[in-house]
Structure 1
Amino acid sequence: MQTSEPPHGSVADAPTDNWVDKFAPDWLKPYARLARWDRPIGFQLLFWPCAFGLGLAAIADPLRGFDWIAAILMFCGAVLMRGAGCTFNDIVDRNIDDKVARTRLRPIPSGQVTAKRAIGFMVAQSLLGFIILLQFNAFTIFLGFASLVLVAIYPFMKRVTWWPQLFLGLAFSWGALMAWSSQTGGLNVSVLLLYFGCILWTIGYDTIYALQDIEDDALIGVKSTARLFGPKAREVVGGFYVGAWILWLAAAMLSGADVLFSLASLVVAATLGWQVYSLDAKNPDNTLTRFQFNHMVGIALTLAFLVEWVW
């Protein structure tokens, strides 16, 4: 449990000397923290399934290649929609966050931003995200609207199920489907395997993240896979990671990848395996570091797709 309070209104799990705390004007800081701009790992993890989908599409049709313009648009969309989703989550959880050590200094429970202003900020981010969505084909736009159902229900899942991480996985992995459809106009079995792999990956890394709050969550009755798995969390996360890697490999093979991708994907397996091997569930700094390391998983898998496409 983290009990020390960071200075100058920053939140407990933000990186030290992040750009928001150092450079953002004072009027912007509470909103930037609300959108988690001080913690880029969130929008990075939302973006990587988009990159995976574009990479898979490039393997399936090498002449079309990797769509870098779509990647830039989707990165911007990930930043905006991650921010909007976090703002919505904090509005919903404002009466819970003030009871948890890691979240009590967030802008709404600490009084830096009112719920009314947070709603306005959420709407502004969503509208900008909508403008980006309109740059894609009709089916991708439909998928974008469909994802809002998952975004809307996720904050409530910790109250009704032990598996809120599953619903986060459904939402955070959706970009893989949208990226593929932006290139092909539809879906197929290979991208569904990619999507399911991303869901397992998300359950794994968010279980690691939830280990930080396991004591506070138990006190206030919030459910999570970290609490569900208990002392078996490390082994279960390892199982999810193995399943994710197998599904990613199967998706690539089904789209035409060969032994080069298989070899490159061993780096992905190593980054996942290191997290499980070195995980200390009782050390919040350890779990946070392992969770954040999943940015490297995203980089490694994207490079594996790119290497296969180039060669």
Structure 2
Amino acid sequence: MTGTPETPEPEGQVRDAVRGNWVDHRAPAWSRPYLRLSRADRPIGTWLLLLPCWWGLLLAMVADGEARLFDLWIFIGCGIGAFLMRGAGCTWNDITDRHIDGSVDRTASRPIPSGQVTTKQAVAWAVIQCLIAFGILVTFPQMAIALGVLSLLPVVVYPFAKRFTWWPQVFLGIAFNWGALLAWTAHSGTLGWPAVLLYLSGISWTLFYDTIYAHQDTEDDALIGVKSTARLFGQDTPKWLARFMVISVALMGMAIVFAVPDGAILKLVILLIGPWAMGWHMLWQLRRLKMDDADRLLELFRANRDAGLIPVLFFAIAALL
């Protein structure tokens, strides 16, 4: 008696895609290479780009005590924009890394090195995503629009960072947490220090989770000369992750203290539970870390969606009080 045969993987599926994802199983066949370029089969990146946006929006609502119908559009618009700009950024990353990805086992199955799309098609797809995202951005206040346009600079630079610095995760953090500044400004019309502190907190968080992620590729990266904090820290990674965890929690706590109006003690307490609980989640990740276990590394990286959602919950409760 033989066992039940395994269902064959869909043609063109990227190696580190979420198994059973909607792109590989439900999207029209013609669209799959483009959606794979956008990492729609790996949604964690969209979450990690979106969550700082929601932090910034909700903390801005607490700071001025106002909740308007337009805030609902900011909330939704940030979600759509995060999906599009994460997709555009990933497409740009794959274009610039097309000669590197084919040499790395985990990335060789991506659409460009595997021949699913051409470089010209990828460029066109990146432009289309940016234009749709810009259509959403122009519905926001003027200063938020300016910040949104400025965010393209770190997005463009990031793929090259691993060629000239051991700290490319800093450049990723600069790009991925920009939404904290943008969403705060979209609500309030101006930029404030709490948003800046929240932004810096997010950068430290990115250093935490993307160092974990980068440990999947340390051997291949060493062979081809790609730099990362994972290679830089080596066996000292847990110590560095602990530092990033503390810095991220502390900066988010400072952002809250600066944002909360005088006398709003209950809101302050509720808000501070957010970074406190997020810190415990990051500590749980740190305790489960196995740097030589690629599956565990990917699992912990993806767990940061839940870590980032924890402040969203408590910020939302405080904003609605």
Among 178, 184, 188, the alignment partner of 1:184 is 188
Q: Tell me the distance in 2 between the aligned counterparts of 1:137 and 1:129.
A: 15
Among 36, 44, 47, the alignment partner of 1:44 is 47
1:58 corresponds to which residue? 61
Q: Tell me the distance in 2 between the aligned counterparts of 1:310 and 1:297.
A: 21
Q: Tell me the distance in 2 between the aligned counterparts of 1:10 and 1:194.
A: 36
Please say if residues 10 and 24 of structure 2, whose CA atoms lie closer than 8 Å, have aligned partners that are also in contact.
no
What pairs up with 1:57-76 in 2 under 5 angstroms? Answer: 57-64=60-67, 67-76=71-80
**Unpaired runs of at least 5, structure 2:** 1-7, 261-266
1:286 corresponds to which residue? 296
| CA deviation profile, 1:253-276 (whole Å, cap 9, x unmatched) | 111142222234332122111111
Report the TM-score when normalising by structure 2.
Answer: 0.93
CA RMSD of aligned residues (A): 1.4
Matched, 1:297 2:301: no
Percent identity among equivalent residues? 48
- Counterpart of 2:211, as a letter, is T
Post-superposition offset of 1:156: 0.4
Post-superposition offset of 1:104: 0.2
Matched, 1:119 2:123: yes
Among 200, 203, 210, the alignment partner of 2:204 is 200
Q: Tell me the distance in 2 between the aligned counterparts of 1:103 and 1:241.
A: 28
Among 271, 275, 285, the alignment partner of 2:281 is 271
**Unpaired runs of at least 5, structure 1:** none
- Counterpart of 1:277, as a letter, is R
Q: How many residues align?
A: 307
Which 4+ stretches in 1 moved above 4 angstroms?
none
- Counterpart of 1:164, as a letter, is P
Please say if residues 77 and 129 of structure 1, whose CA atoms lie closer than 8 Å, have aligned partners that are also in contact.
yes
Please say if residues 10 and 25 of structure 2, whose CA atoms lie closer than 8 Å, have aligned partners that are also in contact.
no
Please say if residues 265 and 304 of structure 1, whose CA atoms lie closer than 8 Å, have aligned partners that are also in contact.
no
Greater CA deviation, 107-116 or 248-257?
248-257
Among 222, 225, 230, the alignment partner of 1:221 is 225
What pairs up with 1:241-280 in 2 under 5 angstroms? Answer: 241-256=245-260, 257-280=267-290
2:319 corresponds to which residue? 309
Q: Tell me the distance in 2 between the aligned counterparts of 1:310 and 1:125.
A: 33
Please say if residues 234 and 281 of structure 1, whose CA atoms lie closer than 8 Å, have aligned partners that are also in contact.
no
Post-superposition offset of 1:16: 0.8
Q: Tell me the distance in 2 between the aligned counterparts of 1:79 and 1:161.
A: 28
Q: Tell me the distance in 2 between the aligned counterparts of 1:80 and 1:7.
A: 24
| CA deviation profile, 1:156-193 (whole Å, cap 9, x unmatched) | 00000000000000000100000000011111211111
